[in-house]
């Protein structure tokens, strides 16, 4: 993070603005909207900027800048087209420890002015750190269409009732859950439509009837996909943002974890071959225990929780204990990684079926129905097959699959570290042993791998 995002209270505070043209006028407009008292210094000043100064009882100095102009100001903005002058303003402000922004010159700034979505008192700021201001404005334009103007009214509703809700619920988790219920319910709809009296009545009734002890915990079993955070579903993202506690495994990428609610407690329960941070039985029980405490628990898994993700084992115990739960599918590694590698799992010319097979069982053995996998017209995808790769290849060949069958080992698929190793059943184990390959990997067997060379579209960082 190049800059720390912060919102400043500028109401009735003096801010220096050097410059009088169009850029300075835009800056003055924003500062005035925030309640700042402008001190404008420039030989020539636009009529709109003059009006802003007069409207807010500011100061107008039609002259060149002097170093003492920054005195008694809490903020400085340099909006001139003279580089030497902008640098002097920056140096003077820094010497007095006053935040300074020099338009379009990030290296002279101590703060960056973001693109703003104003739903006062709700404010959203977007910044590229001065590197790509046009991109920041494009992002702002997209968000403007998604966030109703009426959200400001919703914020006012919350402000009016904040203290009364705080007095009613002395527990922070209970308050948060109550507000989430209100802000997504009938009271919110009425407030956004300007029907404040009706909204207040509903909120009053909810406070009177809500029983803090009845706020029940719940478990969200969510598939985090194969790695690329943009492959998350909308529902997954919503639940990730409202969970109180997150149990996650090693297959959940850093990019996906960055989208979890920042103040949620995080518990790592990852498992490697013969190395478990927490035994599966303990994970199952922990989900039950946390939910019984009234906690919203996110069980976040890589890929899809019901495809080699042990999701079924976890929710069995939840169901036995009558714990409410939701299951959110994720893009499983087979479809996600194969797609990013340019390998269609089925194709009319090469494969009419696909099989997903685990590379090791509960006892860490590789004991699958090998004869069923010998059909050359089907694609086989092995999960967790890196350690037993040589045994897998030899077993397939021994049961009738041609040694020349093309194969692909996809390492860290869908992420910027993705790498695809192409060989055949006879040689892939040697190829992998000559490379430094790290889990997670996916092993694809079948003639569809021949399409990789022409259909590969995603280029990772390796």
Q: Is 305 annotated as belonging to a binding site?
A: no
Output the 3-class SS for the chain: CCCCCCCCCCCCCEEEEECCCHHHHHHHHHHHHCCCEEEEECCCCCHHHHHHHHHCCCEEECCCCCHHHHCCCCEEEECCCCHHHHHHHHHHHHHCCCCEEECCCHHHCCCCCCEEEEECCEEEEECCCCCCHHHHHHHHHHHHHHCCCCHHHHHHHHHHHHHHHHHHCCCHHHHHHHHHHHHCCHHHHHHHCCCHHHHHHHHHHHHHHCCHHHCCCEEEEEECECCCHHHCCHHHHHHHCCCCEEEECCCCCHHHHCCCCCCCEEEECCEECCEECCCHHHHHHHHHHHHHCCCEEEEEECECCCCCCCHHHHHHHHHHCCCCEEEECCCCHHHHHHHHCCCCCCECCCECEEEEEECCCCCCCCCCCHHHHCCCCEEEEEECCCCCHHHHHHHHHHCCCCCCCEEEEEECCCCCCCEEEEEECCCHHHHHHCCCCCCCEEEEECHHHHHHHHHCCCCCCC
Output the 3-class SS for 359-412: CCCCCCCCCCCHHHHCCCCEEEEEECCCCCHHHHHHHHHHCCCCCCCEEEEEEC
Q: Is 23 annotated as belonging to a binding site?
A: yes
Instruction: Specify whether the CB–CB gap between 394 and 383 falls below 8 A.
Output: no
Q: Is 79 annotated as belonging to a binding site?
A: no
Q: Is 333 annotated as belonging to a binding site?
A: yes
Alpha carbon distance 13, 54 (integer Å): 15
Q: Is 427 annotated as belonging to a binding site?
A: no
Q: Is 226 annotated as belonging to a binding site?
A: yes
Report the b/e string of 392-406 with b at 16+ CB within 10 A. Answer: bbebbbeeebeeebb
Q: Is 332 annotated as belonging to a binding site?
A: yes
Q: Is 384 annotated as belonging to a binding site?
A: yes
Q: Is 28 annotated as belonging to a binding site?
A: no
Catalytic residues: 249, 271
Q: Is 302 annotated as belonging to a binding site?
A: yes
Residue numbers in the known binding site for NAD(+) are 22-23, 43-44
Which residues define the annotated binding site? 22-23, 43-44, 226, 302-304, 307, 332-333, 384, 413
Binding residues for S-adenosyl-L-methionine: 226, 302-304, 307, 332-333, 384, 413
């Amino acid at each position: 993070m190049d800059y720390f995002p912060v919102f400043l209270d500028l109401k009735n505070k003096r801010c220096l603005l050097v410059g009088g043209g169009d850029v300075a006028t835009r800056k003055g407009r924003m500062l005035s909207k925030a309640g700042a008292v402008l001190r404008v210094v420039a030989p020539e000043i636009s009529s709109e900027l003059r009006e802003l100064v007069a409207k807010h009882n500011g100061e107008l100095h039609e002259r060149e800048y002097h170093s003492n102009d920054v005195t008694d100001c809490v903020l400085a903005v340099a909006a001139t087209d003279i580089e030497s002058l902008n640098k002097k303003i920056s140096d003077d402000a820094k010497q007095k420890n006053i935040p300074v922004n020099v338009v379009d010159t990030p290296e002279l700034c101590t703060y960056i002015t973001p693109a703003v979505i104003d739903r006062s008192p709700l404010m959203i700021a977007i910044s590229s750190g001065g590197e790509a201001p046009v991109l920041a404005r494009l992002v702002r334009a997209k968000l403007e269409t998604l966030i109703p103007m009426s959200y400001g009214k919703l914020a006012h509703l919350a402000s009016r009732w904040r203290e009364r809700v705080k007095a009613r619920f002395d527990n922070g988790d209970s308050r948060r859950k109550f507000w989430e219920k209100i802000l997504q319910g009938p009271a919110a709809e009425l407030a956004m439509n300007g029907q404040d009296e009706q909204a207040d009545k509903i909120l009053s009734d909810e406070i009177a009837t809500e029983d803090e002890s009845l706020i029940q915990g719940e478990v969200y079993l969510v598939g985090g996909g194969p790695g690329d955070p943009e492959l998350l579903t909308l529902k997954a993202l919503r639940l990730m943002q409202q969970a109180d506690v997150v149990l996650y495994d090693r297959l959940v990428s850093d990019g996906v974890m960055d989208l979890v609610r920042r103040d949620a407690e995080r518990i790592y329960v990852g498992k490697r071959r013969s190395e478990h941070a927490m035994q599966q039985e303990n994970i199952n029980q922990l989900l039950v225990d946390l939910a019984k405490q009234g906690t919203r628990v996110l069980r976040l898994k890589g890929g899809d929780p019901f495809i080699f993700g042990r999701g079924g084992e976890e929710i069995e115990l939840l169901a036995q204990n009558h714990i409410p739960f939701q299951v959110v599918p994720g893009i499983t590694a087979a479809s996600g990684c194969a797609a990013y590698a340019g390998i269609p799992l089925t194709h009319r010319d090469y494969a009419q079926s696909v099989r997903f097979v685990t590379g090791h069982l509960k006892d860490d053995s590789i004991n699958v129905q090998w004869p069923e996998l010998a059909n050359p017209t089907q694609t086989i995808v092995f999960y967790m097959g890196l350690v037993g790769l040589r045994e897998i290849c030899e077993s397939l060949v021994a049961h009738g699959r041609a040694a020349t069958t093309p194969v692909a080992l996809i390492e860290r698929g869908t992420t910027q570290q993705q790498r695809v190793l192409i060989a055949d059943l006879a040689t892939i184990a040697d190829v992998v042993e000559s490379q430094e390959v790290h889990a997670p990997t996916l092993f694809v067997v079948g003639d569809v791998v021949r399409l990789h060379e022409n259909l590969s579209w995603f280029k990772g960082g390796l």
